[in-house]
Structure formats: structure tokens, C-alpha cells
Structure 1
Amino acid sequence: MKTAHQPRAVHGRATPARQAKSAAIAKARAVAPDLPARIGATPATRFRGNPDIFGRLVEDHDRHRALLAMIAATEGKSPERERLFDELVREIKGHAAAEEQALWSTVLRDPPTTEDARHAVAEHHEMDEMLADLAARDMASSGWLRRFAKLREEYLHHIREEEQEQFVAAQKHLSATDIRYMRQVFNRRKREERAGARVEKKIKLKV
């Protein structure tokens, strides 16, 4: 996997990419300030820190990476694990729904990128199922942690694929005006979708 080599700060000033990543991690840490949020090196992407839809989506991805790392650092059915998992569910559900409405609904209409959009949306549904399965199980069990590790692996793969492949392909078929406008749509829909997101509980029989 390629990892990002962020440009060095110039005269003590952080690059936009580093600032965006730090801000995203800080938002995650606000949920449980005493826990570490060690996400390490992140996959290479041209979009981190960009003032458009793709930069905004990567910002959320980094926030989700931090939440996943923080949950992995918790133990048992602790208040921190419960609070962080609730935040993760609302974040991912709100993000995925807004992403589909702001970006993928348009990309679906362009034949060269239809398959990418379908793939991304299908994986969003898979994440919903995995989150509902985790919500229905005992957080204190070793089985919960094993299933969480699988979710983390799958989600990190999903967002890496979006950043390195699907966003790159979509960008080629969108105008600069479309890309700027999509960020506004995403921000509005994310607030609304996150506010209405619910932690559903449903055992997934095939794991």
C-alpha cells in the first residue's frame, strides 16, 4: 500500500494537508480526549487539504480513521467504547448518505464511472450491516472485538480505494464548478443525515 509523504512545513507553517489531517483527528479526540488516536501513515492521496468535495471527504475519512484507532484502544464495555462507537456509527452513516447524494448520484449518470459509483454505494450498505451487527452484540466479548477488527479492516480498505482510485476517476469527469458545488451539498446533507442517523441493531448471520 502506498502511504502519503506529506510536504514539509515551510518556515514553521504546516501544509494544508497536515492541517486538515490534524483538524480531523482533533474532532475525533474531542469525543474521548484521554484516549490516543494513532492512525499512523495514511494512504497517498492528492486530495487531503483540498477546498473541494474530495478534500472534504478525505477530512471525514481521517476523522473515521482516528475514531477506529481510539475504539481499538478501549477495553470491555467501557463508557469510552460505547461513546466512541455511537459516534462512529453516526459519522459513517451520515457521511455515506451525504456522499451518495452529493457525489455518487451524479457520477452514476456517467457511463465511464457508473461502476465505481455502484461499487462505493454497495460497500456503504455492507458497512451499515457490519455496524448494525456490532451494535447488537456484547461489547465486552472477545467476539465483539474480533468483529470490530474486521469492520476496521474493511472500512480502511474502502476509504483507501475511494481516495486512490474512485475519486481520481470521478474527478476526470466532473467540472470544477461541479466539484466546488458538491462540497456545499455534502456539508448540508451531512449535517442533516448525521442528525437523523440511528444506531440500528441487527445480527448479521453470515460473518
Structure 2
Amino acid sequence: MPETIYDALRESHEIQRSLCRKLLRSKPGTAARADIFKQLRVELAAHEAAEERYLYVPMLMDDMGLSASRHALHEHHELDELVEDLQVTDKSGSGWMATAKKLSEKVHHHLREEEKKFFQVSGKIISEVQKVKLAKSYRRDYERVLKLAGRSGA
């Protein structure tokens, strides 16, 4: 059975969940914390960009997908703002960890909502052939953005 867009997205979702757990367990002021945060920041950036292009855009083209897509895009924006806050805050302070916890909670909420609700709505809109094609396009763009985001530094 060929890979669908949902298979590709779930793979990234698991990476995000794992990185969030590692980040919350990391020790203040360590290089490990900075590295985990960078990995999470890059993963979120690559995933969001490719997902928005290859899942949300097709969904926005159908009336049935408008509300769910808008909501998901809004949540991506909230995640981006938290990541931005974490980039400028001292990574060893308690305020940083409070924001990191908020980011982790929002990531987990967003992924659950996507997998339980959004995938079902989009599954009614996107054809089986499209789901396979979108997976290939998503993977290509995800890898491209992953490399770009990784080069841009922490």
C-alpha cells in the first residue's frame, strides 16, 4: 500500500512529540537543551511549511475544509510565536521553561486535534490518488525546508 499524506505527517508528529518530551526533561543552561530546542524549532518549521502547502491548501479549496484549515493555520501561528519567544529568552531561566511547557502542550493539543478531527475531514475531501501524490510532494518540500531551516541557525 503506497504512503499517504497522513503517514508522512504522522511520522513528523512523532518526532515533534519526542522532541517536546526531551526538551522538558533537559537541564537548564546546557548545550543539550539548546540543541534539542533547535531540532524542535527546525522540525516544526519544516513540518508546518510543507503541511500548509500540501494539506491545508487543498483543504482550503473546499467549503467543507475551510473552518478546520483556518483553525489549524491559527494554531501554527501560535506555535511560531512561542518558538519565537523561546529564541529570545534566556534558556536557563524558569520563564523559558514555562514557555517551553506551554509550547509542548500546544504542540500535543494541535497534533491530537489534527489526527482525530482534521485528518477525518480532509479524508472526505481528498481522493485516494491525491493522498499518495500529496505525500510525495510533502516529503520533498519537508526535506527542502528542513535543510533550509537547519542552516539558518538557532
TM-score tier by shorter-chain length is over 0.9
Relative to the length of structure 1, the TM-score reads 0.70
Q: Given the alignment, which residue of 71, 81, 97 partners 1:129?
A: 81
Q: Distance between the aligned counterparts of 2:13 and 2:95, measured in 1? A: 26
Relative to the length of structure 2, the TM-score reads 0.94
- Contact 1:61–1:159 (Cα < 8 Å) also in 2: yes
Q: Given the alignment, which residue of 193, 198, 203 partners 2:145?
A: 193
What is the match of residue 152 of structure 1?
Answer: 104
Q: Which has the higher contact order (CA 8 A, sep 6+)?
A: 2
Rg comparison, structure with higher value: 1
Indicate the percent of aligned positions where both proteins have the same amino acid.
31
Q: Distance between the aligned counterparts of 2:15 and 2:7, measured in 1? A: 13
Q: Deviations over 1:14-35 (max 9, x none)?
A: xxxxxxxxxxxxxxxxxxxxxx
Q: Distance between the aligned counterparts of 1:147 and 1:92, measured in 2? A: 16
Q: Given the alignment, which residue of 114, 130, 135 partners 2:66?
A: 114
What is the match of residue 35 of structure 2?
Answer: 83
The residue type equivalent to 1:109 in the other structure is: M
Residue 181 of structure 1 deviates from its aligned partner by 0.3
Q: Distance between the aligned counterparts of 1:108 and 1:199, measured in 2? A: 32
Q: Given the alignment, which residue of 122, 126, 130 partners 1:174?
A: 126
Moved beyond 4 Å, runs of 4+: none
- When the two chains are superposed, the root-mean-square deviation of aligned CA atoms in Å is 1.3
Residue 51 of structure 1 deviates from its aligned partner by 2.3
Secondary structure of the corresponding residue to residue 76 of structure 1: coil
- Contact 1:132–1:199 (Cα < 8 Å) also in 2: no
- Residue correspondences, number: 151
What is the match of residue 52 of structure 1?
Answer: 4
- Contact 1:123–1:158 (Cα < 8 Å) also in 2: yes
Gaps (5+ residues) in structure 1? 1-49, 201-207
Q: Distance between the aligned counterparts of 1:174 and 1:140, measured in 2? A: 45
What is the match of residue 183 of structure 1?
Answer: 135
1:72 aligns with 2:21: no
